[in-house]
């Protein structure tokens, strides 16, 4: 059930329509702490402006999720038939 959306996002990524990011979020409030192109770019102890606390993935006070941004112009031009070939 989860494979279909991931496969669709991968197809859109290869076509330049979708771009993956690593989103960092406060585990308590889900407040976004940043968006990063690679895992290495994620700060070790980001500050949450809502909690006013330092967080860390090590102590699990924040979480990392894959987030996709969609380029609407490229999506409008996207041809799924061409991508299937």
Does 61 score more than 70 pLDDT? yes
Task: Find the Cα–Cα–Cα–Cα dihedral 53, 58, 60, 64, rounded to 10°.
Answer: 100
**pLDDT band at residue 21, thresholds of 50, 70 and 90?**
very high
Distance CA 27, CA 24 (A): 9
The rounded mean pLDDT for the chain is: 89
**pLDDT band at residue 48, thresholds of 50, 70 and 90?**
very high
Say what the pTM is. Answer: 0.72
Distance CA 83, CA 51 (A): 44
**pLDDT band at residue 2, thresholds of 50, 70 and 90?**
low
Does 74 score more than 90 pLDDT? yes
């Amino acid at each position: 059930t989860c494979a279909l959306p991931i496969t669709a996002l991968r197809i859109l990524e290869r076509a330049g329509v979708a771009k993956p990011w690593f989103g960092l979020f406060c585990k308590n409030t889900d407040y976004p702490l940043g968006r990063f192109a690679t895992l290495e770019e994620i700060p070790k102890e980001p500050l949450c402006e809502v909690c006013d606390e330092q967080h860390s993935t090590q102590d699990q006070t924040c979480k990392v999720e894959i987030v996709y941004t969609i380029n609407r112009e490229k999506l409008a031009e996207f041809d799924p038939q061409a991508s299937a070939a």
